[in-house]
Amino acid sequence: MAVPEGPTDKRYTGNGVTKIFTIPFLLLAATDLDVYIDGIEISSGFAITNVGNPTSTITFTVAPVDQADIYLQLNVPFERLNDYQENGDFLSSTVNRDFDRIWQALKQLFRWSTRSLRLGNFDVDGAGWYRAKGNGIQDLKDPVEAQDASTKVWTQRYVGDVVGGMTGNPNLASNVFYRGPDGLPYTVQDMSGPEGAKLNGYMGRTVYGKLVESVSVTDFGADRFDLAQQPWTQFQALIRAS
């Protein structure tokens, strides 16, 4: 028969009374159905009827308990059952069943792909966002590179290391956390050093060096020891800032 459009899985919630549930998709064999109760696969305690029709029925020997999660899933083995011989029989029933199994397997693959992390239809690869559809992501590796996703345990360790590095009186500058312009953790005490101005976003020289000098092209990146290079870009920046 033709393979109709439609789902390849179905979820029900038990009520402690109902034993019979509809399977709203084609089964070519009873073994093509996986049955789960509360996430655990079961292989007995039920019977399947009407196999080979667009819908069939599963009847449990004992009604699933109230609020039990009942999950029915098509699971067609990826195998070829028939080998056509040259000048042999080419029966429509055999060929149709082969094609039906192929289409069943394709629908099954489509179900898996729609449940995976995917970019949006109009996202450019490398500049888009994966859609998790509100789901969590498990079994991530801890980050290594700067743009790697972080895991819960890695974040907890990171925060623990930062907090652990600040011991003693919390009112001391050496124990007050400060996040620098580079996004890294520091303490307020770190800003008292010769390079402390960098923690305020200034990347030119030390605070002392800045205070004892007037405005200069060196403030804008020019090499003070090689001004003969005529740093026009830095001169223009100096004029704009004056």
pLDDT confidence of residue 146: 84
Residue 69 lies in a domain: yes
pLDDT at 29 over 70: yes
Same domain, 161 and 175: no
* Within-domain flag for 192: yes
142: domain range? 137-166
User: Same domain for 178 and 102?
Assistant: no
Q: What number is the average pLDDT over the span 99-126? A: 85
pLDDT at 32 over 60: yes
pLDDT value, residue 236: 72
Domain contains 29: yes
pLDDT at 87 over 80: no
Least Cα distance to 198 among 213, 210, 212 occurs for 210
Q: Name 234's Cβ contacts closer than 8 Å, sequence gap at least 6.
A: 217, 218, 220, 221, 222
How many domains does the chain divide into? 4
Residue 129 belongs to some domain of the structure? no
Q: What is the pLDDT of residues 50-83, one digit of tens each?
A: 998 989 999 999 999 999 999 999 998 887 777 7
Q: Are residues 162 and 232 in the same domain?
A: no
Asked whether 143 and 154 are in contact (CB, 8 A), the reply is: yes
Tell me: do 236 and 205 sit in the same domain: no
CB burial string 106-122: b at 16+ within 10 A, e below: ebbeeeeeeeeeeeeee
Check residue 61 and give its pLDDT.
96
| Amino acid identity at 122 | F
Q: Is the confidence at residue 173, as pLDDT, over 80?
A: no
Given a cut of 60, whether residue 190 has pLDDT beyond it is yes
Q: What is the pLDDT of residues 198-222, one digit of tens each?
A: 666 655 556 566 666 666 667 666 6
pLDDT above 60: residue 175:
yes
Indicate the Cα dihedral angle 98, 104, 110, 111, nearest 10°.
-150
Output 73 or 177, whichever has higher pLDDT.
Answer: 73
What is this structure's pTM? 0.56
Residue predicted with more confidence, 158 or 34: 34
Is residue 226 in some structural domain?
Answer: yes
